[in-house]
Structure 1
Amino acid sequence: MRNKKNIIKVGYLLSYDYSYIFTSIKQIYDHVDRIVISYDAHNKTWAGNDVYIPESFFTEIKALDSQNKIIFYKDTFFIPGMQPMELETRQRNMMAEKLGKGGWHIQIDGDEYAYDFKKLAQFLRKHRYLLKDPEKKAFNFQVTFVTLFKQNEEGYFVITPFDEKCMLITNAPQYKYARLNHNTERVFPLDYYLIHQSWARDEQEIVEKINNWGHKNDFDTSEFLQSWKTLNAGNYKEYQNFHPLDKTQWKELSFFPAKNIDEFIVSFAEKHPQKPLQLDVSFTKKLKLQLRNLF
């Protein structure tokens, strides 16, 4: 751990869905040490399409950055001839370098909401002894997605049960496929929910998403879009085992009433409060790790 002041560092990839980041940052801001927001210097998505981020966005971000934690990182993230997923992984690695060595690295997307983040931050600070010598002792933590699939006037259709995992935190950021690290020898699951707004957007945004994100070439996006458009309150229970890449990841849908995403987060947090987090190793192993990192 090279910098004791920067224990928890967060990176965001900014693109066509930039507006969601405000909800995301508000969940974590008070409990992190540094935030880097990266975006393409030439206003391109990974697919090479144009993206417009208004100047007012940066003004609003600066206005909420009361503790001067946020850094904007502009660079060339689109390269003709490279696949979108290659470019996503490349940008994540470049952003990790910008965040700097040491500390816990969290790469979170703008439409992901880590509610009651204080518990996760306390866990990471408590176990900061694991940050020593990350090149030799890499530690990674998985959390559980709560994926929102569609929204109507009454609420949200949500993927259940909550089985989908997300590799979110590492002390050794060397990404090989999106957020998946090269070193996965030590991967620990955390009983922590990460709300992912994902597909709960209007149709125009869905079209923009499937035409520009890292997975755009990985499945039949036209078929998926049609299936998404067809879903409604009368047929959502018929959607079973329907994940476009691994069908069993999305077993079924449940409905959660809420007027908007803020109300959903509050309501979901009441029904599913974040639990106290534990490092899933034996007491003896934990003690050895603590002692080893003292020297």
Structure 2
Amino acid sequence: MTAPEPTRFNAYVLAGDPAWIATSIGSYYDMVDRIVVSFDRTHRSWSGHPLSVEESLRRIQAADPEGKVVLLPGDHVMGERSLMATETAQRQAALDAASEGADWVLQFDTDEVLPSPAALRREVAAADTAGAQALDFPLRNIYTATTDGRFLEQCGRFWGSQASYPGPVAVRAGTRLTVARQAGGVPHRRLDVARRNTDPAHPRNTPVHAVVPLDEAVLHLSWVRTEAQMLEKRQVSGYAHTRDWDRDLERWRWRSRHPLRTAAAAPFTRNAWDRYRVVALPALAGLEP
């Protein structure tokens, strides 16, 4: 009996945020054959602000010892399109390029770190067997590093684990994206860190096909940054206009200094995305943005 062909993986990333980009790529580098790196040729964001593309590319190249990276400059400032349509178009172009020669394409943002490539391989194989076209793999939203070397993580009302799904971590080559990195209208295999849905953005009865151990879930390090990096994020984030950054930065500073008081407030906090618990993350030991 002939053994099945091994699954071929490629990946794409959007370059412009250098903080965790080398750590992110390094976490799945051995899984993939190619990494398509998409960026605006004028080094601007979707909304037209300058991005740190040169620093991002420098860090990417330093993390590419086997020459897997393929650069894909393009025109990705929104112009007459909406911001969301511009993001989706950039991701689709990158996904199309990464689909060449691949069975599945990984779509990680550059502040997302994969602790267990073996777990992702296992779950993609299960998705393949189930006939799914997209794999919804849970992310842990890590809010900030604390002054004592631990982290604040978004959690449930009584400090339970809480997953997030900004988009499928892996999609079949040739998939069409609907909004950002979401792939609507195709079969999904959905994993969570518990037997019932833990994401407050989805109904409690949302199907969960399998459970992933918490330490295998993707780490989303969006706000695990230095003060200077946070100030830059305030200026260049494509969705900067949707936040009150003065308020949010002040809260971020206070919570970083007072993690236990922040965690103690979780049961009394109305906003489901504004509850935190203190965690240690060995996977990030010795790493800095």
SS at match of 1:181: coil
Partner-residue secondary structure (3-state), 1:47:
coil
* Structure 2 counterpart of 1:107: 107
Separation of aligned partners in 2, 1:19 and 1:40: 18
Give yes or no for the alignment of 1:139 onto 2:133.
yes
**Residues 58 and 214 of structure 1, relative CA distance in 2, 3 Å threshold:** closer
Cα gap change, 1:199/1:19 in structure 2, threshold over 3 Å: closer, same or farther? closer
Cα contact 1:141–1:169 (8 A) shared by 2: yes
Q: Which residue of 1 aligns with 2:91?
A: 92
Aligned pair count? 251
CA distance in 2, matches of 1:168, 1:241: 31
Mapped partners of 2:25, 2:275: distance in 1: 30
Q: Deviations over 1:123-162 (max 9, x none)?
A: 43576566xxxxxx65221122222211233222222333
2:24 paired with 1:24: yes
CA distance in 2, matches of 1:68, 1:97: 20
SS where residue 148 of structure 1 aligns? strand
Is 1:230 the counterpart of 2:254? The answer is yes
DSSP 3-state at the match of 1:61:
helix
Secondary structure of 2:51 counterpart: coil
Q: Aligned partner of 1:165: which letter?
A: S
The verdict on how the C-alpha distance between 1:239 and 1:203 changes in structure 2, with shifts beyond 3 A counting, is: farther
- 5+ residue gaps, structure 2: 192-209
Q: Name which of 223, 237, 247 aligns with 2:271.
A: 247
Deviations 1:55-109 (A, max 9, x none): 7x54553454333322111111113344433322221111111112552121101
Asked if structure 2 preserves the Cα contact closer than 8 Å seen for 1:106 and 1:170, the reply is yes
Counterpart in the other structure of 1:284: none
Task: Give the match for residue 143 of structure 2.
Answer: 149
Q: Separation in 2 of the partners of 1:154 and 1:73?
A: 40
**Residue 255 and residue 236 in structure 1: after superposition, are their counterparts in 2 closer, same or farther (change >3 A)?**
farther
1:184 Cα deviation from its structure 2 partner: 4.3
Deviations 1:198-237 (A, max 9, x none): 1111233223324433433444444323322332325312
Structure (1/2) with the larger strand percentage? 1
- Contact 2:127–2:133 at 8 Å: present in 1 too? no
Identity %: 20
Q: Is the 8 A contact 2:143 2:221 kept in 1?
A: yes
The normalised TM-score by structure 2 is 0.73
2:229 corresponds to 1:205? yes
Secondary structure of the corresponding residue to residue 173 of structure 1: coil
- Structure 2 distance, partners of 1:47, 1:212, is 8
Residue 49 of structure 1: SS of its match in structure 2? Answer: coil
CA gap of 1:209–1:164, structure 2 versus 1, over 3 A, is farther
User: Could you tell me whether the CA contact under 8 Å between 2:142 and 2:224 is conserved in 1?
Assistant: yes
Question: 2:85 is paired with a residue of what secondary structure?
Answer: helix
Q: Distance in 1 between matches of 2:49 and 2:264?
A: 35
Q: Give the match's secondary structure for 1:87.
A: helix
Cα displacement (A) at 1:169: 1.6
Q: Find the counterpart in structure 2 of residue 290 from structure 1.
A: none
Q: Which amino acid aligns with 2:250?
A: Q
Match of 2:15 in 1: 14
**Match of 1:118, SS?**
helix
For residues 153-203 of structure 1, give each alpha carbon's deviation from its aligned partner in whole angstroms, at most 9, with x where no partner exists: 322222233322223122153222222112244342252400111111123
Q: Deviations over 1:226-274 (max 9, x none)?
A: 322332325312553899xx9324533224377x934479xxxxxxxxx
Work out which of the residue numbers 164, 167, 180 in structure 1 matches 2:182: 180
* Residue correspondence of structure 1 range 275-294 to structure 2 within 5 A: none
Structure 1: 5+ residue stretches without partners = 131-136, 266-295
- Is the 8 Å Cα contact of residues 141 and 164 (structure 2) preserved in structure 1? no
